[in-house]
Amino acid sequence: MTSAEQQHQTYCVRCGECCQASSPTLQREDVPKVTAGVIPWRDLYTLRPGEPVRDNVRGGLKPLDQELIKLRETGQGACIYYDEEDRACRIYEHRPVQCAAQKCWDDTDFMKVHARPKATRKDLLQDPGLLRLIQAHEERCSIIELESQIKAIQSQGESAVTHVLGMLKFDHDLREMIPERLEIASEETDLILGRPLVRIIERFGLKVAKEADGSFLLTVLEPSEG
Ligand code: SF4
Ligand code: SF4
């Protein structure tokens, strides 16, 4: 739909453009949809404070100042609940409140919803054991600390590299271990622990290679790989 068409629009024609462009962030009002299983854990992931995300207003990347829970996207960036063939939302009756407020011709309702409290892992995963695990992971693998250690590589050299590698290994090993120990699906770890650090580090211009002995090697991400 062109912006000229949007100027005269007064209702949603269900073209699906917004669903193909991105996925919604869950607001606290959406929590019952997750606890009731309408939106399962495996379809969600957590963005943690400090994680660089696309700034839709100014462009480029900016660090998140709060934790967010999002619906997963396809490789093309569409919401996973968008059915391309039927051009429809698979959970329309239970879609997140941000989607219900979405009007591409007028963002007033969306901005009101957006200003209300966002859902967090504490709201969704009420199990005390899981919340302790999240706390321990945050203490060892915070993204703010990861960025600070990456910045310190130039001045501190080997010790900062060792610190970064230790964080990557802890995060990696925990992800391998918890599905079996806690009997959860491996897809659910992106909600419980956020996205893997080996992926997030690419947003800071580094990439990780795994050596034959299982150890990690840090290298610079080439611009063509970003
Ligand atoms: S709100 Fe989304 S689905 Fe509705 S007309 Fe606008 S872009 Fe299309
Ligand atoms: S949940 Fe449904 S309405 Fe919302 S972005 Fe996904 S497909 Fe679109």
Residues 104 and 130 in one domain: no
State which of 14, 20, 82, 95 you would mutate to test the pocket of ligand 1, scoring each by most atoms of that ligand within 8 A of its C-beta.
14
Render pLDDT for 101-160 as a digit per residue (tens, 0 to 9).
999 999 999 999 999 999 999 999 989 999 999 999 999 999 999 999 999 988 888 888
Boundary (domain end) residue, out of 77, 92, 122: 122
Provide the residue range defining the domain that includes 216.
Answer: 125-225
Phi-psi region at 157: left, alpha or beta (left = phi > 0; alpha = psi -120 to 50): left
Residues 214 and 159 in one domain: yes
pLDDT band at 60 (very low <50, low <70, confident <90, very high): confident
For ligand 2, atom 2: residue with the closest CA: 89
How many domains are contained in the chain? 2
State which of 6, 8, 17, 110 you would mutate to test the pocket of ligand 1, scoring each by most atoms of that ligand within 8 A of its C-beta.
17
DSSP annotation of 27 reads B
Residues 92 and 8 in one domain: yes
Is residue 57 pLDDT above 70, yes or no? no
Q: What is the Cα–Cα distance from 88 to 196, expressed in whole angstroms?
A: 31
Q: Is the full-model pTM beyond 0.75? A: yes
Q: How many CB atoms lie within 10 A of CB 223?
A: 7
| pLDDT reported for residue 78 | 96
Is residue 4 pLDDT above 70, yes or no? no
Boundary (domain end) residue, out of 76, 107, 122: 122
H or E element: which one contains 70? strand 68-71
